[in-house]
Structure 1
Amino acid sequence: MKVSDEIQELIDEVSFRKSDSKDYERMKIEEISREFKEIMKFQQESFRKIEEFEKTNQNKTEIAEYIKLLCNNTFQREIMQIQEVYLKKIDAKYPRS
């Protein structure tokens, strides 16, 4: 099964994100917010591409499922990292009374 260039590019982009973990601890709250917004936008675009792939390649459901799994795992891991650091920084900047 040959994977379309667009889907191969998506797999490469997601794999790169997976291997290019950022040091959120060193970022300011504003930078973390920007990163969070960027990952959500990338996630939406990725799932749109996957949906298009599924519509045009109905006989390649295994590839589509693999890409969904890869994307979900990568995005979930990255979002959890961002949330953890973001909440720590918010708590440190705005301590509860």
Structure 2
Amino acid sequence: MEEIDEIKELIDKINKRDSKDYQKMKIEELSTNMREFMKFQQDTIQKIEYFEIKGLQQDLIKYAKMICKNTAEREILKIQDIYLKKIETEYLK
């Protein structure tokens, strides 16, 4: 039962991750945030794969994967969009 609680805790951690105000950040800060978020995503995927190997609650694991994927894609795209716009305005004009 502990492992099921761990999966639920992981899902909560993914859902509660705060989105930051990337518009106010400098290019260097955006780059750092991108790396941090990608590291968070990688760590989360490793935990999910660990639970998958143990054969626990497949439906819950699928849900965790979907949440992780959707959250990561949304956040990374947001950072990339702002990052590229800032690069364009600060360095290419």
When normalised by structure 2's length, the TM-score is 0.91
Q: Alpha-carbon deviation of 1:10?
A: 1.2
Residue by residue over 1:2-28, the C-alpha shift from the partner in whole angstroms, topping out at 9 and shown as x without a partner, is: 7533222211111012xx221100000
What is the CA RMSD across the aligned residues, in angstroms? 1.7
- Size of the alignment, in residue pairs? 93
Give, in whole Å, the separation in 2 of the partners of 1:10 and 1:72: 13
When normalised by structure 1's length, the TM-score is 0.87
Q: Which 4+ stretches in 1 moved above 2 angstroms?
A: 1-6
Give, in whole Å, the separation in 2 of the partners of 1:54 and 1:64: 7
Q: Alpha-carbon deviation of 1:86?
A: 0.1
1:1-97 superposed matches below 5 A: 4-17=4-17, 20-56=18-54, 58-95=55-92
Residue segments in structure 1 that go unaligned for 5+ positions in a row: none
AA of the residue aligned to 1:62: D
Residue segments in structure 2 that go unaligned for 5+ positions in a row: none
Give, in whole Å, the separation in 1 of the partners of 2:45 and 2:90: 35
Partner SS state of residue 16, structure 2: helix
Any conservation in 1 of the 2:14–2:67 contact (CA below 8 Å)?
Answer: yes
